[in-house]
């Protein structure tokens, strides 16, 4: 069993314990996200350097929970008294919120496109585009040739592009609109 597989099996065996530990620090709705982020972090770490995987996972989850608390505290300290309430600020705030929502919807749409990729293609694509692995590292990790990795990544890009172009992430119109009917 490789160090990466060992770390993943330790993660799976203590996942509930991580959730309990994190629940002491953050609100219930944040627990799952923090525990999942812990897993994402372990996937990005060089596992050869981890001597005590269980301790490493608990420490990572705790640090992520504390980071979350710091960000939440910073957000709550911003008061409305410090901002001048004029129309320009309201428009800027609206634009900012709109851009954030739009970006979130695009990202969710992209994630859906990735979920539609064949399994091996998805693995290679995510390792390359999300985690920044080299083709050689991906080939070793997935036990395939670098040429196959290259083909998987190219196919992933192509299929994601097609998916994104075929079905818009969102429309500003409801189910009864002509735009909605055209998409069906």
- Tens of pLDDT, residue by residue over 70-126, are 887 766 665 444 544 455 566 666 667 667 776 777 878 888 888 899 999 999 988
Pairwise CA distance, residues 80 & 62, whole Å:
31
Q: Apex CA 93: angle with CA 91 and CA 94, to 5°? A: 65
Same domain, 19 and 45: yes
What is the model's pTM? 0.41
125 shares a domain with 73: no
CB 48 within 8 A of CB 28: no
Q: Which residues make Cβ contacts (< 8 Å) with residue 164, sequence separation at least 6?
A: 109, 110, 113
Say what angle helices 119-129 and 146-166 make with each other, to 10 degrees: 90
- In the chain, how many domains are there? 2
Give domain status of residue 179, yes or no.
no
Report residue 40 CA to chain centroid gap. 8
Is residue 181, in this structure, part of any structural domain at all?
Answer: no
* pLDDT tens-digit map of 45-75: 776 777 888 888 898 889 988 888 888 776 6
Domain CATH for 34? 1.10.1740.10
Q: Let me know whether 72 and 2 are in one domain.
A: yes
Q: Which two tokens stand for residue 4?
A: 């990466």
């Amino acid at each position: 069993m490789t160090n990466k597989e060992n770390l993943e099996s330790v993660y799976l065996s203590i996942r509930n314990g991580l959730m309990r530990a994190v629940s002491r620090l953050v609100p219930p709705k944040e627990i799952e996200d923090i525990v999942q982020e812990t897993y994402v972090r372990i996937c990005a770490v060089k596992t050869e350097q981890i001597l005590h995987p269980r301790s490493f996972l608990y420490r990572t989850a705790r640090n992520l929970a504390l980071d979350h608390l710091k960000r939440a505290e910073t957000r709550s300290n911003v008061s409305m008294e410090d901002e001048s309430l004029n129309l320009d600020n309201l428009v800027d705030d609206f634009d900012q919120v709109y851009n954030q929502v739009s970006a979130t919807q695009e990202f969710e749409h992209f994630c859906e496109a990735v979920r539609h990729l064949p399994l091996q293609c998805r693995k290679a694509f995510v390792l390359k585009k999300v985690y920044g692995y080299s083709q050689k590292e991906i080939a070793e990790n997935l036990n395939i040739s670098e040429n196959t990795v290259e083909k998987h990544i190219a196919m992933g890009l192509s299929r994601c592009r097609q998916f994104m172009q075929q079905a818009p992430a969102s429309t500003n119109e409801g189910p009864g609109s002509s735009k909605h009917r055209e998409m069906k």
